[in-house]
Amino acid sequence: MDQNLLVATGIKVTYAKHAGLFGSKPSTPVLHGVDIRIGKGQTVGIVGESGSGKTTLGRALLRLVDVSAGKIAFDGRNITHIPETEMRPLRRRMQMIFQDPMASLNPRHTIRRILTGPLLLHGLAGDAATALEQVKSVLDRVSLPAACVERYPHELSGGQRQRIGIARAVLMQPDFVLADEIVSGLDVSTQAQALKLLKGLSRELGLAMAFISHDLSVIRAVCDYVYVMRLGKVVEEGPCEQVFASPSAAYTRALLDAIPLPEYDPGWLERRTET
Ligand SMILES: Nc1ncnc2c1ncn2[C@@H]1O[C@H](COP(=O)(O)OP(=O)(O)O)[C@@H](O)[C@H]1O
Ligand SMILES: [Mg+2]
């Protein structure tokens, strides 16, 4: 079994609502005690219907929302309540790739600035020339031409922007990457290319990843282990093949039945990216 990287136990999250008419603040519990373990270098899937709490769980793991109960440990360290100043050096090691890279890439900055800025900020490159070398090398790895650095985000296609988002995360040399519904907006073959790229990178770099998706066919294309969420709880978990071959929860069976592919096709990802 892989060594633990990120372990969350008994996670509860409650969103505070805005003050009501009489100043009361009713709140909505969204996660009801979730346990999740991500090993070093492991790719874990988190699947469930919209509203089941996947994004909230992902944000809780990265300490982007407060938990009302439970514990989060990253690389052996309890980070549940450490102050933001102590989180900051860890943030480089825990990266996030967004569903809509357009929303997370500054439209007024060139790709050069978007990608070299964080390298200089985190001291991963000593000067602009070194940073640019690192950027070009990663752009090559994600199959984007080096000339991309002079472009602005809106000048790239959706699939290219997704690769910029992946490059930006990978450049930080993280241990963990959270990918929340990152391929949802892309057509199927662009999805497959992005997934294949991430899977390759995670192997090469020993990256651990959490893949959030409402789509089981995405999860089973890339994940080793899967958590199935429903209404803020984990209803089933296990190695992917096991869960897909014999789901024990009725809910997982219903999700599986909803997959458009009639049968599990292990070659799906490979064939989709042949062209
Ligand atoms: N900022 C927020 N404030 C209040 N409720 C929220 C907030 N974000 C999400 N929720 C609610 O929490 C529940 C889980 O949402 P979310 O974690 O986004 O689920 P998923 O990613 O699985 O679709 C939903 O009922 C949603 O309406
Ligand atoms: Mg979500």
Domains of the chain: 4-93+174-272 (3.40.50.300), 104-173 (no CATH)
CA quadruple 132, 136, 175, 266: dihedral, nearest 10: 170
What's the 242 CA to ligand 1 centre distance in angstroms? 29
What's the 150 CA to ligand 1 centre distance in angstroms? 37
**Whether residue 264 has pLDDT greater than 60:** no
pLDDT of residue 45: 96
**Whether residue 232 has pLDDT greater than 90:** yes
Query: Which band of pLDDT confidence, cut at 50, 70 and 90, is reported for residue 266?
Result: low
Ligand 2 (ion): residues with CB under 5 Å are 55
pLDDT of residue 275: 47
Average pLDDT for 70-93: 96
The protein residue whose alpha carbon is closest to atom 6 in ligand 1 is 15
The protein residue whose alpha carbon is closest to atom 5 in ligand 1 is 15
Pocket residues: Cβ below 6 A from ligand 1: 15, 28, 30, 48, 50-56
Question: Does 187 or 167 have the greater pLDDT score?
Answer: 167
User: What are the DSSP calls for 55-122, one per residue?
Assistant: HHHHHHHTTSS--SEEEEEETTEE-TT--HHHHHHHHTTEEEE-S-HHHHS-TTS-HHHHHHHHHHHT
Average pLDDT for 259-273: 62
**Whether residue 261 has pLDDT greater than 80:** no
Residue at 75: amino acid letter: D
Question: Does 114 or 25 have the greater pLDDT score?
Answer: 114
CA separation for the pair 102, 154 (Å, rounded) = 8
Tell me the per-residue pLDDT of 197-227, one tens digit each, with 9 for 90 and over.
999 999 999 999 999 998 888 888 889 999 9
Tell me the per-residue pLDDT of 141-177, one tens digit each, with 9 for 90 and over.
999 999 999 999 999 998 899 899 999 999 999 999 9
**Whether residue 228 has pLDDT greater than 70:** yes
Checking DSSP bridges between strand 27-39 and strand 208-213, what pairing results, if any?
A: unpaired
Report which of 42, 62, 22 is spatially closest to residue 208, judged by C-alpha positions: 42
Tell me the per-residue pLDDT of 98-126, one tens digit each, with 9 for 90 and over.
877 778 889 999 999 999 999 999 999 99
Q: Which two tokens stand for residue 126?
A: 């000593």
- Which of the ligands is closest to the CA of residue 52? 1
